[in-house]
Chain A
Amino acid sequence: MLIETAITEENVRIQGQDRMLEGILSYPNDGACSSALIAGPHPFLGGDMRNNVVSALLKALVPQGVVSLAFNYGGVGGSEGGPTDWPAVMSNFWKDGTFAEESDWIEDTRSAVAALRQWCDLPPLLIGYSFGCWAIVSNLQELRASAIVLISPNFKQHAFDQLSECSAPLLLIHSDSDFTCSLSEVVAWADSIREPRKRVQLAAGEHFFRGHEAKVSGTVLDFLKGHNILWTD
């Protein structure tokens, strides 16, 4: 039986290391069973807390009793910060897809988890989408997650070595057609990462899951229920 609950959505401010971030904190009004941090795509690739996948996850998780936080990385929307020499930064990013200060966004992610813990003391579920996968995995040592969900990680761009340092249940969701890698590459990569893990391949709209957001969030809910992280009756 699904649990129908009234939901509150707050626009919140998050104290980052040296800047203030904006976020959406969404929670059920009559009790919670878990908490979740949702880290979105790369800010230079259109990533923000209103992204279609991020929004779909918020919408799906909260009615299930999960206090959920999505946030904007520094320099995105109402979050402070961002590159000072924008043309130079964009030039480099255009050339090789790197941004020297990406580590600031990793720091932002850590700050967001710290803020989430202040609002809810239940162990957090960490969900990353695209660049957000790397943002959460880079923080795994310190974040003590109840479970990890990686949606379309760009493993060719970033290293995910730290996954081995956390034994929390792991769900990997990927599309059968993703511009960042071939299907065989993602399958091989998934096979190489540590157990316990579950890989789910969706026939769903490339990297972006447009129009297939419900499939993504449904897969996440099934996984969490399977690990007794959500209420199931």
Chain B
Amino acid sequence: MTDGRVEVLLTGASGFLGHYLLAELLAYPNVRCHVLLRSPMSASAVRLDGLLADIGLNLSALIAEKRIVPVEGGLPDSLSGVDFSGIDVVLHAAGNTTFHANGSGEPMKTNVDGTRAMLTLAADAGVDRFVYVSTAYVCGEQVGHLPEAFYPTLPPVRNDYEHSKWEAERLVWEWGGQQGVATICRPSILFGDSRTGRASAMKGLYLVAKATEILARAMDSGRETDRHQIPLRILGRSDATCNVVPIDWAARQIAGIAMKPAIESSVYHVTNPDPPTHDEIKCWLEEYFDIAGGRFSGAKWPLQDANHYEDLFYSLGNICLEYFRHGLTHESRCAASVLGGHRLLDREAFFRCMKYAQATNWCRSRSEAEVFPAPIRNVDSKWYFESFLPESVPLSVVAKVNELTAIVRYTITGSDGGSWVSRFDRGRLVETQSTPATLEPEFEYRLSCEDLADVVTCHRPLQDVFFHGSAEMFGDVERALKMVPIIGEFIKEFPVVDRECPVPVC
């Protein structure tokens, strides 16, 4: 600290939470933020510039005023040029949210190796405060009232993401015992800005909202069922809660924690003290999308006897249900910031978020794509076929091609490749299996990782990749060809843009 100025090194600044954190830190007039940006820095700066502009900040001006100092580097192994000297606080918010490990080494690579590298460099430079952004769900399957404390043994985690966050917490906690003061912040599920509805990515609860929109669209297209009596089983209890916090509130809390002097290591839950229940969320969604009829059910996922509407609703998968819990509360000092009678997420804030989501086509508006024009050279195939397609196809025009019934294999060659088989039934993407799959494909597309990136980012049409020889079709070639324009329309509607591509974000 020099002349009262606090030098903060922030990672993950161009992420969903990170740019809000940056804005909150800059609200402290004595803070200067050293922002770690992935190489090439010019492209990362364009991305950050767009995100900050959306929330009323001018990156160029802030750099000129020396409030922001861009630093080039990437996690975990491109930090050699990063100068930690003079840094008072490291706020490590970069993370990878891949739930299940794939061939890329994620989420361990970024979350564990990246944190270890940051801690080592911080220790070498004599930094004495390290603030780490973890997740409230590092608790795994535990229920009850969870204390704001480090879990000394690995909790019963449900996926690799939770495991990686606990490993990172362990490293941070150990660092705190030997090198300085460690602070762990555990936000729960992040949602849109409570003031504007804005969000730069739409996962978690947004998936439930998307699924509801899918149902509403199906009703719009003239099905015979009364849109207010949809026979839908909602898996879970009506009184279970959805611990969602608005991104603006969470960022303010974490920035405040980072800026507050600390003499000993500690853990903070950045969680909602009065989260909405399943039933409240259901009512809000029904009102917003003008549908009704869903009933809470004790049925188990996956439903063995799903009806048409349940197929539609659950076509996004069960991921949205994974974090809706019963009997889980959190000790939280941040809760004191919530004034009595005020709820962090109420009906009005929720509706604002829905309006924003729809206005931006669930964060895929053309204008957003234009903010990130640089070609993406690598798309995580597993993410694309197992997450992106199941999420997006139901919202796309493909879902209206009601004669489309087919089983398709996609084989992606190269080090990041793999093979997946998808079954379409009357336009709906019913299931996708990674191989070995039990589904028998009628036809197959085979292309390289590089061509996949070109195609799904709209830089090259699929037919061009095929007709000029670098992609192949097998099996029923006529049907494969017929599907090409359908895929083409889908990609035009849902291009992959950089911000949603699950590559490490530094």
- Answer yes or no: are A and B bound together in one complex: yes
Beta-carbon contact of B402 and A87 below 8 Å: yes
Give the CA-CA distance A198 to B54 in the complex, in Å: 66
Question: A196 at the A/B interface (Cβ < 8 Å)?
Answer: no
Could you tell me the distance between the alpha carbons of A45 and B468 in the complex, rounded to whole angstroms?
Answer: 14
Considering only residues 470-506 of chain B, those with a C-beta below 8 Å from chain A are 476-478, 481-486, 489
Cβ contacts under 8 Å, A50 to chain B: 464
Q: How far is the CA of A70 from the CA of B467 in the complex (A)?
A: 17
Bound CA–CA A94/B481 (angstroms):
10
Q: Does B401 contact A (CB under 8 A)?
A: yes
Cβ–Cβ contact A94 & B482, under 8 A: yes
Q: Is the CB of A94 within 8 A of B466?
A: no
Q: Which residues on the A side are within 8 Å of B489 (C-beta)?
A: 86, 90
Residue A51 lies at the interface, judged by CB distance under 8 Å to chain B: yes
- Contacts A46-B481, A46-B485 given; indicate if A91 touches B402 (C-beta within 8 A): yes
Residues 53-92 of B contacting A (Cβ, < 8 Å): none
Question: In the assembled complex, how far is the CB of residue B395 from the closest CB belonging to chain A, in whole angstroms?
Answer: 13
| Range class of the B interface residue count | 20 to 34
Please name all residues of chain B whose beta carbon is closer than 8 Å to the beta carbon of A208 when the two chains form the complex: 466-467
A46 to chain B, nearest CB (A): 3
Q: Are A86 and B482 in contact (CB under 8 A)?
A: no
Q: What is the bound-complex CA distance between A93 and B478, given in angstroms?
A: 12
In the complex, which residues of chain A have a beta carbon less than 8 angstroms from the beta carbon of B477? 179, 206-207
Chain B contacts for A11, CB-based, 8 A: none
Chain A residues, Cβ within 8 Å of B468: 52, 210
Which residue on B lies nearest to A46, using beta carbons? B463
In the complex, A44 has a CB within 8 A of chain B = yes
Interface residue from B427, B461, B485 paired with A44 (Cβ < 8 Å): B485
A92 and B403: CB pair below 8 A? yes
Tell me which of A44, A93, A97, A210 contacts B469 (CB under 8 A). Answer: A210
B237 within 8 A of A: no
B3 to chain A, nearest CB (A): 61
Q: How far is the CA of A97 from the CA of B485 in the complex (A)?
A: 13
- Residue ID in chain B nearest A178 by CB atoms: B477
Q: Is the CB of B464 within 8 A of A90?
A: no
B401 x A90 contact (CB < 8 A): yes
B404 interface residue (CB < 8 Å to A): yes
Given A46-B467, A208-B467: A87 in contact with B401 (beta carbons within 8 A) = yes
Give Cα distance in the complex from A207 to B476, angstroms: 13
Chain B residues with Cβ under 8 A from A51's Cβ?
Answer: 467
A167-199 residues with Cβ-Cβ distance < 8 A to B are: 179-180
Tell me which residues across on chain A come within 8 A of B483, comparing CB atoms: 94
Which chain B residues lie closer than 8 Å to A210 at the CB level? Answer: 467-469
Rounded to whole Å, the gap between the CB of B209 and the closest CB of chain A is: 23
Cα A46 to Cα B477 with chains together (Å): 12
Known: A46-B466, A180-B478, A210-B467. A87 touches B484 (CB 8 A): no
Q: Does A211 contact B (CB under 8 A)?
A: yes
Which residues of chain A are near B27, meaning CB under 8 Å? none
User: Any chain A CB within 8 A of the CB of B400?
Assistant: yes
Produce 1/0 per residue, A13-48, CB < 8 A to B. Answer: 000000000000000000000000000000111101
Let me know if A90 and B467 touch, CB within 8 A. Answer: no
User: Can you list 29 contacts pairing A with B, beta carbon distance less than 8 Å?
Assistant: A43-B485, A44-B482, A45-B481, A45-B484, A45-B485, A46-B467, A46-B481, A46-B485, A48-B463, A50-B464, A51-B467, A52-B467, A52-B468, A86-B397, A86-B489, A87-B401, A90-B401, A90-B403, A90-B404, A90-B486, A91-B402, A94-B404, A94-B483, A95-B403, A179-B476, A179-B478, A206-B477, A208-B466, A208-B467
